[in-house]
Amino acid sequence: MGLFTGKKGLVLGIANDHSIAWAITQQLHAEGAQMGFTHLPDKDPARPRMEGRLRKLVEPLGTKLITPCDVQKDEDVDRVFAMAKETYGSLDFVLHSIAYAPIDDLKGPVWNVSRSGFAQSMEISVYSLISVAKRAKDLLAPGGSLLTLTYLGGEKVIPGYNIMGICKAALESSVTYLAHELGPLGFRVNGLSAGPLKTLSSSAVGDFDVMLKLYEVMAPLRRNITPEEVGKTGMYLLSDLASGVTGEVLHVDCGYHIMGAPPGDAKL
Ligand code: 0WD
């Protein structure tokens, strides 16, 4: 019997097989979870690329729910949760793995971010968690939990991360307030702060390859994390193994975040 045998969840944010949400999904599936999935609506319905990529990955898992969702639209989020209720009755977990900033705003400098770019980045990358929590709290079964993905750029300045760092700071704060509010209902809310992984989103972040090299030099484990490691910890945080953990941001970054200066063996 797996840790998720008989458990049902909703996963938002698989864009392709490099997505962090896919790494976590694979671990959840291995433990017996049943999951529904959302994808970004395709711009051209005649060429459903987002849907196609997601279907190819998750249909072999025997999913009963694949549907589009643009988190900027309340009606989309309402429909997704209504469909989840119809399909599964209740949910044991929701995985939120969504972020976006317009590329011109992401490039920085931060002082030059547009009013509309700031609002859109915050709406998709932060408000979406709040909006998901609002619907999830009425559908979660006892012991239910939410998990979102964040990055060190929300705690410390990571050059190139720019507006997304500001979004992650707000996202991590949202995790604590939501954990406080949903805790009395018996629900948990956590964040997983992943080290850099090559995905569709991260390819838009400046100096990404430099960051990967830096982690090899600076991190106590002297390497970068693997998608599987993020997957395993994501699964743990959503599982009953973490039943006493809420309002937490857990770093899965080979220890990089504890370092304040390069180690002695770093070649500078
Ligand atoms: O190094 C990394 N890749 C890290 C990522 C390190 C630490 C944290 N993260 C975070 C990201 O900030 C994000 O919150 O992990 C989360 C997932 O990111 P990812 O797996 O790196 O990226 P990706 O595979 O692109 O998935 C993010 C998805 C979108 O993909 P694209 O690239 O097509 O925008 O977020 C979804 C979409 O599927 N998304 C939306 N979903 C619904 N409505 C929306 C939207 N409006 N916008 C983006």
Q: What is the rounded average pLDDT of the residues 63-83?
A: 98
Out of 54, 71, 72, 97, mutate this one to test ligand 1's pocket (max ligand atoms within 8 Å of CB): namely: 97
Q: Tell me, in angstroms, the distance from the centre of ligand 1 to residue 69's CA.
A: 13
Strands annotated E in the chain: 8-12, 34-39, 66-68, 91-96, 140-150, 188-194, 249-252
pLDDT in tens, 178-228: 999 999 999 999 999 999 999 988 888 878 889 999 999 999 999 999 999
Least confident span in 119-123, 163-167, 183-187, 205-209: 205-209
- What distance lies between CA 102 and its chain's CA centroid? 18
Residue 161 a catalytic site member: yes
CATH architecture of 8-258: 3-Layer(aba) Sandwich (3.40)
- Indicate if 151 belongs to the active site: yes
Say if ligand 1 is within 6 A of residue 69 CB: yes
DSSP codes, 159-171: TTTHHHHHHHHHH
**Per the structure block, which two tokens stand in for 180?**
């406080």
3-state secondary structure of 110: helix
Report the distance separating Cα 22 and Cα 16, nearest Å. Answer: 7
Q: Where exactly are the structural domains of the chain?
A: 8-258
Give the chain's mean pLDDT: 97
Q: What is the pTM of this model?
A: 0.98
